[in-house]
Structure 1
Amino acid sequence: MMAAPVVRWPQAVEDHYRAAGYWTEETFDSLLHTSVSRFGNAPAVVDDGVVLSYRDLAAEVDALANGLARMGLQKGDCVVVQLPNCHQFVVLCFALMRLGVVPVFALPAHRQTEITAFCRFVQARAYFIADVVGGFDYRTLARAVLAEDGVAAQVVVVGEADGFVSYQSLRQDGVVPCVAQAADVACLLLSGGSTGIPKLIPRRHCDYLYNVRTSVEVCGFGRQTVYLAALPVAHNFPMACPGFFGTLMAGGTVVLAADPGPDTCLELIDRHGVTDTALVPPLVMLWLDAVAADGRLRDRLRSLRCLQVGGAKLVEEVARRITPTLGCRVQQVFGMAEGLICYTRQDDPDALVMVAQGRPMSPADEVRVVDDSDHDVADGAIGQLLTRGPYTIRGYYQLPEHNAVAFTEDGFYRTGDLVRRLPDGSLVVEGRVKDQINRGGEKISAEEVENLLLGHPSVFDVAVVAMPDKTWGELSCAFVIPRGPAPRPLDLTRHLRAQGLAAFKIPDRIQFIDAFPATGVGKTSRRALRDALQAEYFSGPEPEH
């Protein structure tokens, strides 16, 4: 059960948002019913040969929600969902939200460390997985998680259950009523986090649906939209910006891709007439290189209207290649699962779209760019981004001490981003305040990796920092002070894998060093380490790992 209420907006602010029409009494269940009544037999979800109309989707949700209720799940329970891009993910979202059961959306790349922490923190009643994806057996992971103290979740498997509960077996004829209300928490999204295990972001039906609805309006989604969900749909970006929820709200068709690579996605775009999709910058570069190497592939992109790019900053040189190479418009997207979403607009001049990450999508978004003393800086100056508004949370789930630091007294969220604001309100992202590495849109906590490396007997001290990379934006480098003879980098990599760390968090480079540069108060200077990387190490060969 959700052990404590989430941090709410002040009552006067909530009343204002409702009076202004930003928040309604709609829930995700009513979204589904409205779409079924409007779009009926139109195709809603396409997944590897499976095509569900809006009516089919609703029928699947009915059957699964009934089975989940019979399994004993009830309003206020939390579950962990770790599924790939598949139609069962979409069905499960709506079924859980109808019951008022709160999903924590784990990423497919998460492993034992993260999943165990999620299950313990929310006292998860169930854990939903696929059987085997990309050669990785999630049932083996589930057994390892269940062996941990404080984990007592039922495991539900899409595919071969192998002793667990079969997803298919849960489908039961009948309809259970929606018990969720607009003010209830619909789901818990993951923060990128800079302090270890990702923090949980409570998104209520009212604020998250406003996020979806406004994104649909700004991005021009409608019945003609065919949206390719190429990125993992557990991310906020392909889920609600506008993502698959926005596509279903607008009456379009969601096409689910098993992986985001050009070989898979270009064929799906061609086959299904995809009009819109979303990528992170490293994937954009893969697509660009694939089409540049074989010009015939561009014919497969004839239907593509818009490529959204977000999750990490898009370099101007790459942005300028998209339209000439892929033949579609580029839309820059900047935001966070905590709230604020910025888009470039269809009528923005190309000169702006190439360099800016968009402007806030809602007239009710409040944005401040401040110095280290929280004083507002002039437009054009670099400062820290603070924001609040009708879809930006006022606190993380059950983290009161962290909330006191992450939010100002008057409710502005400290995003940790360094930005410049242009005269039209567009934001240009200049970096991060927090010690967090943004590896192609996947956020890595330096502290989490450092703590695990410190558990190796040959490691005396360690500092993990970002290093610039033309493809990924940032990669991670671990500076290690060894205890005695330096171990092989491969030994440290194997140690991290044995601890159950997600693959994207494994340092891309491990560099041994005699001592760390220090600040005036004796702390390790990460800025000095980054400078050292640029000055000394970038020209060297890549180490073995």
Structure 2
Amino acid sequence: MPTPITEHTVPWPEADVTRFTEEGLWAGAAIGTLLREVADRDPDATALTDGTGLRLTYGELADRADAAAVRLRGLGIARGERIVMQLGNSWEFVVLLLACLRAGVVPVMALPAHRRAELTYLAVHSEAVAIAVPDRTKDFDNQRLAHDLAADVRAATGAGWRVLVAGDDIEPGSVDLRSLCGPPTDRAGFDMPSPSSRDVALFLLSGGTTGMPKLIARTHDDYAYNARASAEVAGVTSESVYLVSLPAGHNFPLACPGILGVLLAGGRVVMLPSPEPVRAFATIAAEGVTHTAVVPAVAGRWLERAAEHGAGQLASLRVIQVGGARLADELAYKVKPVLGATLQQVFGMAEGLLNFTRLDDPAETVCTTQGRPLSPFDEIRIVDEQDRDLPDGQAGLLLTRGPYTPRGYYRAAEHNARSFTDDGWFRTGDICLRTPEGDLVVAGRDKDMINRGGEKISAEEIENLVYQLPSVSQVAAVAMPDPLLGERVCLYVVPRAGETVTLEEIRGQMESAEVARFKFPERLVVVEELAWTKVGKIDKKALRADIADRLKAELPGGV
């Protein structure tokens, strides 16, 4: 049997539980219970649509979630057990998520791009008993991989392994997820006890800098507050229509306000597989979308599309949130004039703290800062390397704690000792400055991470994979600037004497290791030696400067 979650989570201090409950921040009810209450108030309002033509009212969505919760129990998946969710942006994702939140089953939010390496790690580390996948994603057989994981997971955890599949091609041994998430077939009613509001609701993934991502345990109390408060600051109401085109398993489109925040407000969620501009614009027009969230690379593509073809299809769009990475100021200033919607910059992390520009902020604040904390109970500090507080206007390391920032990662004592102070401050790894008005400006990262279009890539993970090649003596993975994605992966490699190393060879090694393709390096620089600091560490700062200079030299005119 899987280990109880409580054995490996860092509990909220009781003083904080009391304070956040008394202040009305924490509702004291499970998210599934809160959503059922919304559905009962207005069961005929439309809650969910997707590209298949399916439209579910709140009553239908809640009934399906309740029925699916009962069916999960019928499969032997019990309260507190974990299920890896690797589903695309579909109605099945939403129904299964809500079913888990009702039943107390804990989803582990994998991403569509994850492959064997990541999924095996997530399943083993969380001691998952099941996985939910699409049958295929383009030419990739997700279902076959899910079954192939069974032996490794069982050997490591001793747990059972169920494969739930959404699609038309359901293999023997798989559970048909569409049937599991279908309408109730008997009207006996939902008779399962609700989870405690202090239970873990789901696991989000960190943008880990050291190997595989860490698991972030979000409770019903803190995550419901995260979603509800985000909906308020984004101006989401029961009249709002929210387009989900980023991968729904990310914190941003899931609860900032995302799917959960919009549903808790009684609005309508529209699921779309991708933010590709042609289809996204058409969907916004057809569904009357009022709010959506994108990363900077998508914002850039949308701006290009609107500049070339006009923004007439975006007439209903009132708010476009941009987050996941720093949005260049010059692009920020174009959003309102070109797309017609109000820009809301969002800077945050799955570990908790969220910052938003406000909808009534002046244009300069909206376009040149990443906003201020969501909650009046969020605490932030900007400190130097000795944890000494710095004055406004001076960049330093961002520390935070608050009502939706947990106090530690799951099963990660060593990471927790480094990432959290004894009095509960989380070391975010971000370098920021605070303006006199209280807004944050993101200046970079102090950790060894590459942010490719909002997907966080651990340089250490890439380096460990490349070191498996016998031709490689030394390797350093660094971020290289990119106008579309913000950053891409660049490798500096010192070959062994008499050996050669090619980018194709390295990418082949990573493909054999079955890691997500977004982690594949996109440039290789072969050098005789790496840059080193005075204390004997690889000088990543010098390497990042070097690749930036190389890119500049390749521009027309060498500038």
- Aligned mate of 1:422, from 423, 435, 445: 435
Offset, 1:375: 0.3
- Aligned mate of 2:462, from 428, 449, 459: 449
SS in structure 2 opposite 1:59? helix
Q: Do 1:61 and 1:91's aligned partners in 2 also have CA atoms closer than 8 Å?
A: yes
Aligned match of 1:196 = 211
Aligned match of 2:485 = 472
Q: Do 2:147 and 2:163's aligned partners in 1 also have CA atoms closer than 8 Å?
A: no
Offset, 1:67: 0.8
Q: Is the aligned partner of 1:10 residue 2:16?
A: no
Aligned match of 1:294 = 309
Aligned match of 1:24 = 27
SS in structure 2 opposite 1:288? helix
SS in structure 1 opposite 2:368? coil
Q: Do 1:29 and 1:178's aligned partners in 2 also have CA atoms closer than 8 Å?
A: no
Aligned match of 2:267 = 252
| Distance in 2 of aligned mates of 1:459 and 1:326 | 48
Q: How does 1:373-412 map to 2 (within 5 A)?
A: 373-412=386-425
Aligned match of 2:514 = 500
Q: Is the aligned partner of 1:310 residue 2:323?
A: yes
Aligned match of 2:445 = 432
Q: Per-residue CA shift, 1:172-216, capped at 9, x if unaligned?
A: 645242330100000000001101110000000001011111111
Structure-2-length-normalised TM-score = 0.94
- Aligned mate of 1:51, from 55, 62, 66: 55
Q: Per-residue CA shift, 1:261-300, capped at 9, x if unaligned?
A: 10121010010000000000000011111111222xx111
Q: Do 2:30 and 2:194's aligned partners in 1 also have CA atoms closer than 8 Å?
A: no
Q: Is the aligned partner of 1:227 residue 2:242?
A: yes
Q: Is the aligned partner of 1:106 residue 2:106?
A: no
Aligned residue pairs, count:
539
| Distance in 2 of aligned mates of 1:233 and 1:76 | 22
Aligned match of 1:135 = 139
Offset, 1:12: 1.5
Q: Do 1:332 and 1:353's aligned partners in 2 also have CA atoms closer than 8 Å?
A: yes
Q: Percentage identity across aligned positions?
A: 45
Offset, 1:540: 4.3
SS in structure 2 opposite 1:539? helix
Q: Per-residue CA shift, 1:74-99, capped at 9, x if unaligned?
A: 11111100000001111111111211
Q: Do 1:2 and 1:76's aligned partners in 2 also have CA atoms closer than 8 Å?
A: no
SS in structure 2 opposite 1:501? coil
Q: Do 2:66 and 2:102's aligned partners in 1 also have CA atoms closer than 8 Å?
A: no
- Aligned mate of 1:263, from 275, 278, 287: 278
Q: Do 1:75 and 1:179's aligned partners in 2 also have CA atoms closer than 8 Å?
A: no
Q: Is the aligned partner of 1:89 residue 2:89?
A: no
Aligned match of 2:41 = 38
Higher mean C-alpha displacement, 458-467 vs 172-181: 172-181
Q: Is the aligned partner of 1:488 residue 2:497?
A: no
- Aligned mate of 1:154, from 162, 166, 178: 162
- The one-letter code of the counterpart of 1:167 is L
Q: Is the aligned partner of 1:165 residue 2:179?
A: no
Q: Do 1:309 and 1:332's aligned partners in 2 also have CA atoms closer than 8 Å?
A: yes
Aligned match of 1:533 = 547
Q: Do 1:332 and 1:358's aligned partners in 2 also have CA atoms closer than 8 Å?
A: yes
Gapped runs of 5+ residues in structure 2?
Answer: none
| Distance in 2 of aligned mates of 1:432 and 1:9 | 27
Q: Do 2:45 and 2:57's aligned partners in 1 also have CA atoms closer than 8 Å?
A: yes
Gapped runs of 5+ residues in structure 1?
Answer: none
Higher mean C-alpha displacement, 74-83 vs 134-143: 134-143
| Distance in 1 of aligned mates of 2:551 and 2:318 | 42
| Distance in 2 of aligned mates of 1:536 and 1:55 | 58
Q: How does 1:336-351 map to 2 (within 5 A)?
A: 336-351=349-364
- The one-letter code of the counterpart of 1:150 is A
Q: Summarize the Cα distance change of 1:5–1:501 in structure 2 as closer, same or farther, 3 Å threshold.
A: closer
Q: Do 1:2 and 1:78's aligned partners in 2 also have CA atoms closer than 8 Å?
A: no
| Distance in 1 of aligned mates of 2:258 and 2:552 | 37
Please provide the CA RMSD for this pair.
Answer: 1.4
Offset, 1:169: 4.1
Structure-1-length-normalised TM-score = 0.97
